[in-house]
Amino acid sequence: MAPAPDGLAPVPPSVARHGGGASRRDNLNGALFSVAASLGFTITSVMVKELGLLGIDAFQTVFVRAFFGMAVIVPLMWRMGVAPWRTNHIGVHATRALLGGLSVLCGYYAFTKLHLAEVTVISFTVPLFVTVMAVLFLGETVRWRRWSATGVGFAGVLVVARPFGGAVELASGLAVLMALCIAISVVLLKRFPKKESQLLMLFFFLLSSGLMAAWPGVARWHEPDLTAWLLLAGVGFCGLASQALIIRAFRIGDASFVAPFDYVRIIFAGGAGALMFAELPDLWTYLGGLLIVGSTLYIARREALQKRR
């Protein structure tokens, strides 16, 4: 991976301590925040898909989402005295914001074109990318058992997706790009010191995604009805809350430990797809889900034992 504009070289001590030696309690709390974020992201994806069925373009959804998000973030920043120009990490903020904006655009487009479970499964490549980059750039120690469990989880993703013998759609390719952008953004989180404001991270993310979607969103504008406006507002607020949760998860826990808990989204996405869009998982989905959830539970157990020792 090419370095960010400000360099992804040596990790500052405060970040290295937090990224490579988080306590057992911090790791478990990070896992809980990750699960909560996964539920929030699933609810958001359901609303995005519903908006697509109502004729709302993905660019328009991202643009309005950024507007509603800013309506929450800016007053909070004003009240807490947080100013964007006071940060000493503008390069990392900018890089993360661009990656975050690109991931949202790709993901929202994919959700409007593909099944919830399909996009969710593709996004499960994120923990694998994160584990590798956490070792390379954060100095985290990942032993062979966790590597093996991560590999089993990825095998489960392949069982669910069965990406053999079919043509790759644009939406599928963009979903993979979404996963890669998210993984790099997760690693970049560890470049920030613990005191760096989460409001600033969310502010730059919303600003970037809003600017990226502004022109195509306005050009393809479809006048929403009351239902669509409520869904758009829900996407904005729920997406913002989920972002805050996932940032918190990776700030307090080891990236290579927290990342596999994202796999629980297969349960949320499968249930939501069945209830909302009559997308019933088949036998392969259940089999792959067992591999994924089993590997995640094994990683959590190994980490707990290791911390006790």
pLDDT one-digit tens code per residue, 277-293: 888 777 776 787 778 77
Dist. CA 287–CA 160, nearest whole Å: 7
Q: What is the DSSP letter of 194?
A: T
Amino acid 307: pLDDT: 61
Amino acid 300: pLDDT: 64
Dist. CA 277–CA 198, nearest whole Å: 35
Helix and strand numbers, DSSP H then E, in the chain: 13, 0
In this predicted structure, the answer to whether residue 153 has a pLDDT above a threshold of 90 is no
In this predicted structure, the answer to whether residue 275 has a pLDDT above a threshold of 60 is yes
- C-alpha distances in angstroms, 88 versus 7, 146, 203, 258, 305? 14, 35, 15, 27, 38
pTM of the model: 0.73
From 95-104, 180-189, 216-225, the region with the lowest mean pLDDT: 180-189
- C-alpha distances in angstroms, 282 versus 33, 159, 270, 286? 29, 11, 10, 7
Give the residue ranges of DSSP H helices in 253-282. 255-258, 265-277
Q: What is the mean pLDDT of residues 55-64?
A: 92
What's at 264, amino acid-wise? Answer: V
From 6-15, 217-226, 233-242, the region with the lowest mean pLDDT: 6-15
Short-list 94, 62, 30, 44, CA closest to 246: 30
Q: What is the DSSP letter of 303?
A: H
Amino acid 43: pLDDT: 94
In this predicted structure, the answer to whether residue 28 has a pLDDT above a threshold of 80 is yes
